[in-house]
Chains A and B, each alone.
Chain A
Amino acid sequence: MSTVLNTSTEEARAGSPANSAARTRGLGSRLRRLNIPAGLGGWLWLAIIIIPVYYVVITSLKTQEGYFGQNPLALPTSPTLENYQLVIEANFARYFMNSAIVTIGAVAPAVLISFMASFAIVRGSGRFLKVVNGMFLMGLAIPLQATIIPIYLMIIRLNLYDSLLALILPSIAFAIPLTVLILSNFIRDVPNELFESMRLDGCSEWQIMWRLALPLTRPAIVTVAIYNGLHVWNGFLLPLVLTQSPDLRVLPLALWTFQGEYSVNIPAVLASVMLSTLPILVLYVVGRRQLLSGLTAGFSK
């Protein structure tokens, strides 16, 4: 989508002014006139976004003396990684692993079963599927956090309290409504002729699902996986309520307790913020297009 848009304007700009005057006027002049106020607003918002991020990055590299002595927005005079070392020694590797286990353990099954359900909802018919779809859609409107007390009760009764599985199971359920919505929108976009031709070739629906729908839905699957991964990775309420042992902390919870313990050592606290975000940042760098473009595919219809 975005690439198509870019190339077409690129052409318009590159074309000689004589023969592409009409096209340039169409898009170019409209955007040029917007430029000044929009540009100012754009840079202002950038400042609002980037200053806090910048502050966190530089402060995490400062020594305690630097933090107390320097201008808060000045670059550290003697950058140090000792804060990071302190954070890593505070068992952060363990918390990182916990977060990774919970995230993968929740997202992989959630996406898989949601994909199967979406395929059925799009390709199938009948009252049952309509009801199921309606139920998932309603799940979008319910603030699922409100169910935390019964979930707490169930997790205790299932003897899962204070385990990583206690975080995984509800996370799967919470991810289903949106995942089904996005995936079914994508599967619906597959031209019906493709399904028909596979059916005429004698494929069962099961084969059609894995061999046609799955590859065609791959971008959306990656998208919802990243989207849900982000939510589970950053989730706070479930770990807060359903775990207790320090060894089972996931990163957001660890951040919070760390902040409580090291409230006087702000550089170290901010180093913990940096460390907990780093893997997501790497993901963003690698899979940004997929994450960003896919997110809107589910919502902007």
Chain B
Amino acid sequence: MSNTVSTSPRTAVSRGESQQTEKRKAALAWLTVPALFFFLVFAVVPLAGVFILSFANWDGIGSIGLAGMDNWFSVLADPGLYNALGLTFLIMIASWLVQTPISLLLGVFTAGSQRYRAALAVLYFLPLLLSSAAVAIAFKALLDPNFGLATGLGLPFLAQDWLGVPHLALGLVIFVIAWQFVPFHTLIYQGGVRQIPKSLYEAAEIDGAGTIKQFFHITLPQLKYTIITSSTLMVVGSLTYFDLIFVLTGGGPGNSTRILALDMYLRGFRANLMGPASVIAVILVVIGLALALLLQRLGGKDKQGSQLEGL
């Protein structure tokens, strides 16, 4: 399917169109109305709403009052915010550092044509099927010091109080996130690797480049846009690891895994402080947008054109 991308000339579309077809093309705009309606009502309006609510007083049940800048001042003065911010970025960076190399290597690995690799790949993707709630519950059982993996494998160092010690809980969260999300990124890299033209490897082969050289000089550079796509999804997605952490640790022990999304939920729906929770939500949105823009900028603008450059 994707092979046809390069052959269909984009430029021919805009050339030599009559006025009638222009009209016809503009009329197509109607087809976007249903999607636009849903997106406006349940995504754009809430997005605006969250800004407005960040200046409001609301307990989630009663009437909504004006709070002015109070929510912002109180949240910005709250050390809890900086704890949550720090944890969010820590988990984001750690997740990227753990998941990107593994996914990339597994992507290259599963893109190979050997039978056993295809068979392994089928199993690799199993975590994609599980809900975060299911994954969290499974790992909670698995980490039971007496009836879990530690006893099963006879590895006493696994018998820790994983959910009771802050840095262990944090490490666990990063590991379980990787367990759940590496398969998805592996899939992305696998697709990326399969799109690399075989001729590049054949040429390298003739030049006498070995496997490792080929990996660093062909595979990696050719995967540049795949890396950016995967990283964008990973980084922006890491802002929303809510359900997994909620079920796994509930933000604890103490506040040691209370990331921004969880902080928002707990402030809003547990402490009934919707105003301050909305402030957190606004911060989440701003961080998400900023990161996405930054990563796109890193990738350069002419995304479509340059990937197949020089072929």
Same complex for A and B? Answer yes
Taking Cβ atoms with an 8 Å cutoff, the residues of A that contact B are: 1-2, 5-6, 9, 25-27, 29-31, 33-34, 38-39, 41-43, 45-46, 48-53, 55-56, 59, 67-68, 71-74, 110, 113-114, 116-117, 119-121, 123-126, 128-129, 132, 135-136, 138-154, 169-170, 172-174, 176-177, 180, 186, 188-192, 205, 209, 219, 230, 233-237, 241, 251-253, 255-256, 259, 266, 269-270, 273, 276-277, 280-281, 284, 288, 292-293, 295-297, 299-301
Chain B interface SS verdict (over half): helix
Q: Is B83 an interface residue (CB 8 A)?
A: no
> Which residues of A are found within 8 Å of B243, using beta-carbon distances?
236-237, 252
Residues of chain B from 4 to 34 with CB closer than 8 A to chain A in the complex:
4-5, 7-9, 12-14, 22, 24-32, 34
Whether the Cβ atoms of B191 and A125 lie closer than 8 Å is: no
A–B complex contacts, Cβ < 8 Å, 22 sampled: A5-B113, A30-B211, A31-B113, A41-B109, A42-B117, A49-B123, A55-B148, A117-B35, A119-B31, A123-B25, A146-B282, A147-B47, A176-B43, A177-B39, A180-B35, A188-B5, A189-B4, A192-B13, A237-B265, A252-B133, A296-B191, A300-B2
Taking Cβ atoms with an 8 Å cutoff, the residues of B that contact A are: 1-5, 7-9, 12-14, 22, 24-32, 34-36, 38-39, 41-50, 52-53, 58, 60, 102, 105-106, 108-109, 112-114, 116-117, 120, 122-134, 137-142, 144, 147-149, 151-153, 179, 183-184, 187-188, 190-192, 194-195, 198, 201-202, 205, 210-211, 214, 225-226, 229-230, 232-233, 236, 239-240, 242-243, 246-247, 261, 264-265, 268-269, 274, 277-278, 281-282, 284-285, 288-289, 291-293, 303-304, 307
> Which residues of A are found within 8 Å of B124, using beta-carbon distances?
45-46, 49
> Which residues of B are found within 8 Å of A177, using beta-carbon distances?
39
Whether the Cβ atoms of A146 and B284 lie closer than 8 Å is: yes
**A9/B113 contact (C-beta < 8 A), A49-B179, A50-B123, A205-B27 known:** yes
